Chain A
């Protein structure tokens, strides 16, 4: 199936360019012009991928993107486990995002932890007409009474809030005062703001800055003795336990993780983060803002890292250790050495089954680039990738550190384009989201969800790499993909056999 291996770079480039031209033909002229800027073939040596990004999606094209609310409630705030997050507005947003992101946490749900509960103000027509602030006041009281062990509350705005002129900030201030300085955070993440989830991340970061850091008092927080080795994990949502399989490595090398943002995180951890010696940033896209803020305000350096696949993990461990003394540097080497036998065994087992297989990705956040190394560790090749809500700095990082010459790049791809690309390039695997999964499986293309790890995971760290390798193998090498054609449909069968 792997077309790429039999062609030269020039041929692949020409084919991909032609493919882009072909796809653009479907559009009305104005749309074709706009979409053309988001599609490109990567040229080695360029500083970015040559596509426009973080621009409004075009109406009616079936963009895969979500909204600011999804970026704030769904991604950044939702995993903070000891706070109640109110989906403020009509019932749907909270309902569709209820429990579906797999941000693992340890806690007594409904008593001291609230991640997998759906709190909503369930707006009715009268709330739209008369405003929802009074209802919000009552909701905050009801939460205090029925969930007394919550450590804080956030108000995640849905579209109507900003349109009907509610003053959730005033309500938050008043109620916080009434409850003795309780942390109540209004978040203006209405879904119509911005062009994708991305602005929601930014707004959520700003809310942490203004309503958590902005309210820190000198009352002895944090409640533990600082050490020179304190770090915070930023931008890991603990999907399937990712942050845990990362944390264990950092601690094994001698660091102390004082906060997780935000998977399995707590308000106390957010509040303690200004005491960290280094912020280590996994999902740059969703949490670079607060990292930059902490650098500016508290002088905490931050460094990006990548815990997908052994090559990048080792590189990252050394990079992180570079901020510390020899003890930590030795610790990093010790960790790399400790896990080398596992890495060797995983690669020995899975690489022969996956060598040369091609992959097309379309995900959000950091993954369109971060997972490339893990595939390469298994001998696989990523021939196309794109970001749901990336910015130019993401494409720069992608171009400079990750993708190969002639890789097909598609920003804010839509259903039509993605189907045509996959149909034409026939990758051995597509890694994208739930909305894409069944489309490609119907086409007979193996698929893994690369947002939720397809209900598996963790994929971070060495433990996670073993799972990643197993999962890619079971997707690609499932016997079912050889049986999608009925045996009596002779012509197609002959073609399939010839292709094998």
Chain B
């Protein structure tokens, strides 16, 4: 017996012992297993160019896609406002999934309610669910705002949020002047980044354009402030805090819209804060007066930025700026739009990042990388790799579109290190598996699901993306700003050095290269 009270072993070791191994071997006969030689043959076949061709010819099936659905993004954006409860109209299981997904990534609570529609609502519509749901949420959770979005069920049956909310208010679910912005977020259109965009636009539209016809539209009185939109971001906690620090350093009056950096990082001190921080509703309304709005992620904010531009603001968007040049562009844009000087401290921070890159770039130079993730994240990381002299050989974004592909390809073409590199929109991680087998790279950058690719192909995984379930706390450190660039550089370097050590540690065989100084 392997188990003992002195040294309790769990699943990691328990089943490796002879009793369990024999038991599992005996179980095989009941499984009617495939011939091991055949399994081996197919396994090898999946590594071939022939398999890749068939794999890339797929038209209907998605295998391990790297994207989620719209309402997840809507929930993520909504909790970035002061005391705001996301309310997702439709089936209730969806909400259980969004909450679990966000909690597993951030290791934080994630509060959100559902209108719990079932068969009868599918037939008669979900108006009663909306009416009762709003009343219950309002009474139980004392929100300052309830931000409504939809699951695909409500979208398929065609529930009209605007009318439902209006009727619910007439029936007294919530006070007439209580803020209930809404966005239709069908799961069969776009991805979680689209849902972020729709929800944020819905909230701004609510405050700026007359609260669904119940208040006068706001008249823009331009001031010197800058609005910042982070976009859907697994590093929102570290990133938004870093952006705010930079804005404060520069003395720029600003509003971060959908600021969820506090609610996804509350302290453990005996109190559960269901709501924390967030853009105040007043600031959300007053954001109309800003001089300009900057989006850190173009493809998370296409509709929102167009809406903001229509209201007369300058709009600028970035693609998840990581590293030196992208941060330069961001800082210069801040200075240009605000008229503020760039303080010496930022120049020093920049200099430190240059210093770090100069110290270490030889280890990254010429290395080949595969990257996958949301469209903006892919772009930002690829740009940084090019800057380091590395080659982003495969850049894959399941929720990237043709426009993304063109922009990505242009970036790759702009650098000598991007020659022969390829952007793959709309592809999934089973495609990536074929790419890694047929055109191997040195490192893979992606989210937790990349560990399956690492296991299958042996490509070491650097975890950057969303979700990250199997490593803790990285979301608390920024990837943006010069400091963020340094964090990304260190992540990449640590993996490179670990790999060199791993490949040179056989005693008396390879350990001449097991250097103490690198």
Contacts and interface: CB of A to CB of B under 8 A. Distances in A.
Interface of A: 26-28, 30-31, 56-70, 82, 86, 89-93, 95-100, 104, 106, 108-112, 116-125, 127-128, 135-136, 138-139, 142-143, 145-146, 148-149, 151, 158-160, 162-164, 191-195, 197, 222-224, 240-241, 244-245, 247-248, 251, 257-260, 264, 266-269, 272, 338-339, 342, 345-346, 348-350, 414-416, 419, 433-435, 437-444, 456-458, 462-463, 466-467, 469-470, 484-486, 492
Given A66-B93, A92-B94, A117-B63, A444 B268 contact: yes
B91 A191 contact: yes
Contacts of A151: 32
Given A62-B112, A96-B97, A111 B135 contact: no
Contact of A138 (B59, B115, B121, B128): B59
Contacts of B32: 151, 223, 266-268
Given A100-B104, A463-B3, 19 more contacts: A65-B96, A100-B469, A109-B456, A110-B456, A118-B63, A122-B62, A124-B189, A136-B60, A146-B54, A146-B58, A191-B93, A192-B90, A194-B118, A245-B14, A266-B33, A268-B30, A349-B6, A457-B11, A458-B10
A438 B107 contact: yes
Contacts of A158: 152
A139 B97 contact: no
Nearest to A62: B113
A66 B112 contact: no
Contact of A95 (B69, B110, B267, B433): B69
B133 interface: yes
Interface in B46-69: 46, 51, 54-55, 58-65, 67-69
Contacts of A65: 92-93, 96
Interface stretch (B18-26, B215-223, B247-255): B18-26
A160 B129 CA distance: 19
Nearest to A344: B5
A127 B62 CA distance: 14
A388 to B, nearest CB: 9
A387 to B, nearest CB: 15
The 5 closest A-B pairs by CB, nearest first: A67-B93, A92-B69, A60-B133, A59-B133, A268-B32
Contacts of A444: 268-270
A267 B31 CA distance: 7
B61 A143 contact: yes
A128 B60 CA distance: 14
Q: Which of A139, A438, A457 has the most CB of B within 10 A?
A: A438
Contacts of B273: 442
Contacts of B267: 442
B340 interface: no
B100 A435 contact: yes
B119 interface: yes
Contacts of A433: 100
A118 B269 contact: no
B118 A56 contact: yes
A84 B115 CA distance: 32
A193 B93 contact: no
B446 interface: no
Interface of B: 1-6, 8-11, 14-15, 19-20, 23-24, 26-27, 29-34, 38-39, 42-43, 46, 51, 54-55, 58-65, 67-69, 71-72, 87, 90-94, 96-101, 103-104, 107-119, 121-122, 128-130, 132-137, 139-141, 151-153, 156-157, 186-189, 191, 266-273, 430, 433, 449, 452, 456, 469
B16 to A, nearest CB: 11
Contacts of B135: 28, 31, 60
Given A192-B121, A240-B10, A268-B31, A26 B140 contact: yes
Given A121-B62, A149-B42, A160 B188 contact: yes
B134 to A, nearest CB: 6
B68 A95 contact: yes
A470 B140 contact: no
Given A128-B156, A135-B60, A241-B14, A59 B39 contact: no
A59 B91 contact: no
Given A146-B58, A346-B5, A484-B268, A159 B114 contact: no
A69 B93 CA distance: 8
Contacts of B23: 244, 247-248, 251
Contact of A118 (B9, B65, B191): B65
10 contacts: A58-B132, A62-B140, A92-B187, A96-B68, A108-B39, A258-B30, A342-B5, A433-B100, A438-B107, A458-B11
B60 A139 contact: yes
Contacts of A269: 30-31
Given A116-B452, A348-B5, A90 B69 contact: yes
B187 A66 contact: no
A135 to B, nearest CB: 5
Contacts of A339: 1
A337 B208 CA distance: 74
Contacts of A486: 269
A149 B38 CA distance: 9
A247 B104 contact: no
Nearest to B51: A146
Contacts of A27: 136, 139-140
Contacts of B19: 248
A257 B27 contact: yes
A35 to B, nearest CB: 10
Contact of A66 (B68, B87, B96, B119): B96
B269 A484 contact: yes
A28 B139 contact: yes
A170 B278 CA distance: 50
Contacts of B91: 67, 159, 191-192
A30 B173 CA distance: 12
B156 A61 contact: no
Nearest to A64: B96
A243 to B, nearest CB: 10
B266 to A, nearest CB: 6
B65 A91 contact: yes
Contact of A61 (B109, B110, B136, B157): B136
Contacts of A110: 46, 433, 456
A346 B268 CA distance: 31
Contacts of A438: 103, 107-109
B130 to A, nearest CB: 7
Given A191-B153, A442-B268, A342 B3 contact: yes
A167 to B, nearest CB: 17
A159 B115 contact: no
Contacts of B30: 222, 224, 257-259, 266, 268-269, 272
B65 A67 contact: no
Nearest to A150: B34
Contacts of B42: 111-112, 148-149
A59 B34 contact: no
Contacts of B104: 100, 434
Contacts of A61: 113, 136-137, 140
A159 B137 contact: no
Contacts of A439: 109, 272
A148 B38 CA distance: 10
Contacts of A116: 452
A415 B11 CA distance: 31
Contacts of B430: 117, 146
B137 A109 contact: no
A120 B62 contact: yes
A163 B116 CA distance: 16
B60 A142 contact: yes
A90 B136 contact: no
A444 B5 CA distance: 28
A28 B133 CA distance: 11
A93 to B, nearest CB: 7
Contacts of B96: 64-67, 70, 435
B98 A247 contact: no
A73 to B, nearest CB: 11
